[in-house]
Amino acid sequence: MPILSALSATAARGATKKVATSLAARAFASAADSPLHTHYPVVPGSLTAHLQLRTGETFTGGSFGAPTATIGETVFTTSLVGYPESMTDPSYRGQLLVFTQPLIGNYGVPRRTRDQYGLLKHFESEQIQCSGVVVSDYATKYSHWNAVESLSEWCEREGVPAITGVDTRALVHILRGQGSTLGSLSVGAQPLGAEAIAWADPNTENLVAQASTPDVRVFNPEGDVHVALIDCGAKYNIIRSLCDQGARVSLVPWNHDISASLHTYDGVFISNGPGSPAHCTETIGQLRQAFSVYQRPIFGICMGNQLMGMAAGLNAYKLRFGNRGHNQPAVDLTNGKCVITSQNHGYALDDAQMPEGWARYYVNANDGSNEGIRHVEKPFRSVQFHPEAKGGPLDTGYLFAEFVDSVRAAKQAGIPATLPED
């Protein structure tokens, strides 16, 4: 036993030393002159690119996108697949997107095939939405039966800079420690001088107004129920998921006056979108008015959850580094079941005190942040995650069926869309 105890003590000291060394190395990784933060070799013939954080850290690698410079909020996603869908997700507008998955680009970029609703099958919008792309290892050769171009060719064609050879583990460690921060992505032999970077926070802009449709568009006009989809930056798969359930979808601008036409809708849906919800005061006001007179189902996703919560009386706050990826656990508080969800948001609702008539719906099992709200009497509810989850997982796709089924049931039951005027 003494020998075993001595061995155990030695092993414990060794383990403690390893942990201490590991923690020191992780802290070391944030320093620009760290041995772990070496410059990765640039592929011969390619340009040099630099990612500079506002907090002072610089990462140098090779350029595989457009030879231009950009500024954005530096955020990371833990998704393993689906980079075409992520890069075209309007919620990433104004952001430098860091992929924690080391190998990116190996299956190229798919062809722009459209479905029966006129929506692109393999993209979430018509163009790349993020301001820049940051990866550890860009695959210069791609292989996939549906690919028509490389990730590099796509980025170059759309004017989006991209950098490879970055120690993304060190970068994500920095972002998790200090929070998402502004970054500058540039191409050139040397990083930009401090005086050459005009830092501008995209979250001070109304990114929703930039991502939203300017006009009303109708999808699946033969649908048996009519749903108004308030476009705060809607992903194509949200439109598709509603149409697949048999709904006629009217995509309306983020600040559309729905109060005048509420009586014509069988249901109302609020989409995801980029940036801070604080800029969407017009949408919040419209929803607050709808809550008082509308009697049929209302549902929100991501930004839609935040706007519904703010219309109900809650406040939103900025998360330190947000929740972005395909592996976020959310617990349904109505039955205790946990689902794995796709997420992409930097803001959340403060649900410490719920307004009268409202209850928490889902909660994040990792950090305890809000993942949804519901009205205790009216058919109003929302979720912070993405049930449409293009790129997966598909655990919560049933929420679209439940919403459209409830819309259909309310219509068949003859429930008036709005309360009668006094």
Q: Which residues are part of the catalytic machinery?
A: 302, 386, 388
Q: For 275-368, where are the alpha helices, taking DSSP H only?
A: 281-293, 303-312
Burial class (CB in 10 A: 0-12, 13-18, 19+), 342: buried
Residues 6 or more apart in contact with residue 22 via CB below 8 angstroms: none
- Check residue 418 and report its DSSP letter: B
- Check residue 386 and report its DSSP letter: B
Token pair for 319:
């998360």
Token pair for 4:
């075993």
Burial class (CB in 10 A: 0-12, 13-18, 19+), 192: middle
Q: Quick check: 411 and 296 in contact, CB under 8 A?
A: yes
Q: Quick check: 258 and 287 in contact, CB under 8 A?
A: no
Amino acid letter, 370: N
Cα 82 to Cα 36, 42, 392, distances in angstroms: 29, 25, 8
d(CA 285, CA 207): 18
| Three-state DSSP state, 372 | strand
Q: At what angle do helices 236-244 and 398-412 cross, to 10 degrees?
A: 50
Q: Quick check: 325 and 369 in contact, CB under 8 A?
A: no
Q: Quick check: 166 and 136 in contact, CB under 8 A?
A: yes
- Count CA within 13 A, CB hemisphere, residue 351: 22
